[in-house]
Amino acid sequence: MLTTLYKKLQSVTSKLNIIQCNSLSFIWVSALVFTACFNIAFFAKVIDALSMNNKDDYLLFGSFIIFIFCVLNILFTLFFVKPIRKPLLVILLCCSALGSYFSLFYGIYIDNDMLVNIFQTNTYEAITLLNGKLVLWFIIFGLLPSLFVIFFIKVKKISFLKSATLRTVNILISVAILGALYFSLPGEYSFFLKTNKSTLKLISPTNYIYALGDMVNKHYKSEVPFTHIGEDAKRKIATNPQKKKLIIIVVGETSRAQNFSLNGYERETNPLLSKQSNLFNFEHASSCGTATAISVPCMFSNMPRKSFDRTLAINEDNVLDIIARTGVNVYWKDNDSNCKEVCNRVPTLEINKTEPAELCKGGLCYDIQLLNGLDQYINERTDDTVIVIHTNGSHGPAYHERYQKDQEKFTPACKSTEIDSCSQQELVNAYDNTIVNVDFVLNSTIELLKKHSDQFSTAMLYMSDHGESLGEDGFYLHGAPYRIAPKQQTHIPMIFWLSDSFMNNHRINKTCLADKAKNDQNVSHDNLFHTVLGALDVSTKEYDPSLDIFKSCEYE
């Protein structure tokens, strides 16, 4: 059927005036189109970075245009050969149309981490990113140019020798121009690249081509034997009878500390948590990454952020594996895209997204559904237990779908996934309502733990995986390269609730922990691995007491 349709289209277009060109013209025009149409976000960042108030700034800006054209000219000369030049160009047009849209309108930088996050996004999240502006942008810059290339452009044939000669000369001229550009402004280039290195991740199509190559390379690197760590782990046996421990770890999603009233935000987004006793809100916590695919594995790994390697992390034991080997009941329940390979070796359940109807609609469940069934599960436990619930939290761009109607405290709220079309206040209103929902879910979790406090010594540990940008400095959503990521994407909420029996068992000085929560500037995802081990009295050489949140506040 497709073959027949293609032949009919060819028959129609053959009667039209087809544009004929030689292979070099095809390459030059392609390089010019990509330079001008798909690198607007890069040029905008260059203008922001330069003062643009003297001749040297304009020369440097102009040189970047020529630089990108020459680089693309070289690449296209090497790879745009018959019979793959048209299919390859079509693929690049479509991919660049999508990439340039998110870079231009949401401030998204495309690198390996971003591609990993994209490939691990579930269908529902992908659908929420679709909007009318994106579709129109793709049609104008991706689909229509592709159809034009396929049906209206004909590249004239020339001999292999002539083609090779012309291509060689073309590459040599481009290389010479690049050299001349660099050596004419060596100091300016060096300074710009040193201070704005991440901006290169906006250059299309080299950004996603390089990122894809890096991701494939790391995939093959990941095919290595799995490494077990913490095999010496043992739980200390209490000399006196005491309650078993029940810890619920809540993995937040896309919630930023800035919008928590517990952290001084002027709006009351935490009305329920603010009334809880034994609640310790760490005001200065930071994330390991700016995307779920990086942050979640990092949270449960023993690798600190500065040396974290996702490929290595998913191929070795994490804290859940270690504690499970000591006999702790471990259970992961998910309401997000997935556990990013953290829960591969422990019992796991993705919530039923079809019922009850009031909590799950259109493939999305409200996070409160994660608590459904946990009461029965807890009643059946007789040993130390750790439950991890992975929330959908404040994930954008469909913020308005993350909370129930009675939680819409701030209005008018943005009800569109085309978030840059909403006013700033509407966007913030919708996002703040998601934090009200987070408050409700965390408070409900605490109340569930209180219900079982006669049977267990209970605690809740909450950390968001990363934050979110709401248009500040031109950034939306998340996933910016860490070295340039705005604070909104790395400053995360981190909240611990501890029962009296838990604090007594661990001899925790409440005043000390409250002071640490308020003033410690160094708390981060790095602390989770060691804090969980310490909370369960697990001894292993992998445990670092200096990173255990509770250890420094123990009294004799």
Here the tokens at position 71 are: 């680089």
pLDDT at 93 over 60: yes
Nearest to 299 by CA among 251, 347, 334, 333: 251
pLDDT, tens only, 475-485: 999 999 998 99
Number of H helices, E strands in the chain: 21, 15
pLDDT, tens only, 301-331: 999 999 999 988 999 999 999 999 999 999 9
Instruction: Determine the pLDDT at residue 248.
Output: 98
pLDDT at 518 over 90: yes
Instruction: Determine the pLDDT at residue 126.
Output: 73
Instruction: Determine the pLDDT at residue 303.
Output: 96
In angstroms, rounded to a whole number, what is the distance separating the alpha carbons of residues 319 and 300?
Answer: 6
In the chain, domain spans:
2-221, 246-553
In angstroms, rounded to a whole number, what is the distance separating the alpha carbons of residues 536 and 3?
Answer: 63
Q: Which amino acid is at 18?
A: I
pLDDT, tens only, 176-224: 999 998 888 888 888 888 888 889 999 999 999 998 888 887 766 656 7
Instruction: Determine the pLDDT at residue 349.
Output: 83
- Mean pLDDT for the stretch of residues 496-519: 95
- Residue 113 pLDDT level (bands cut at 50, 70, 90): confident
Nearest to 198 by CA among 488, 491, 483: 483
Here the tokens at position 152 are: 């209206």
Q: Which amino acid is at 429?
A: N
Q: What's this model's pTM, rounded to 2 decimal places?
A: 0.87
Question: What is the pairing mode between strands 244-252 and 348-350?
Answer: unpaired
- Mean pLDDT for the stretch of residues 90-117: 90
In angstroms, rounded to a whole number, what is the distance separating the alpha carbons of residues 394 and 453?
Answer: 29
Instruction: Determine the pLDDT at residue 177.
Output: 95
CB 454 within 8 A of CB 421: no
In angstroms, rounded to a whole number, what is the distance separating the alpha carbons of residues 369 and 363?
Answer: 13
Residue 392, classified by CB atoms within 10 Å of its CB into exposed (0-12), middle (13-18) or buried (19+), is buried
Which region among 9-18, 32-41, 423-432 has the lowest average model confidence (pLDDT)? 9-18
In angstroms, rounded to a whole number, what is the distance separating the alpha carbons of residues 456 and 481?
Answer: 42
How big is the CA angle at 310 (ends 304 and 312), to the nearest 5 degrees? 90
Q: How many CA atoms lie within 13 A of 547 on its CB side?
A: 18
- Mean pLDDT for the stretch of residues 414-435: 93
Instruction: Determine the pLDDT at residue 243.
Output: 86
pLDDT, tens only, 433-457: 999 999 999 999 999 999 999 999 9
In angstroms, rounded to a whole number, what is the distance separating the alpha carbons of residues 100 and 145?
Answer: 15
Q: Which amino acid is at 236?
A: K
Q: Enter the CATH code of domain 246-553.
A: 3.40.720.10
Question: What is the pairing mode between strands 538-539 and 348-350?
Answer: unpaired
Residue given tokens 């992975």 in the structure block: 390
Instruction: Determine the pLDDT at residue 127.
Output: 77
- Residue 50 pLDDT level (bands cut at 50, 70, 90): confident
Residue given tokens 């993350």 in the structure block: 402
Between 16 and 341, residue with greater pLDDT = 341
Instruction: Determine the pLDDT at residue 420.
Output: 80
Helices (H), 290-418: 292-300, 310-313, 319-325, 374-379
Q: Compute the Cα dihedral for 375, 381, 382, 388 and give only its sign.
A: negative
In angstroms, rounded to a whole number, what is the distance separating the alpha carbons of residues 323 and 317?
Answer: 10
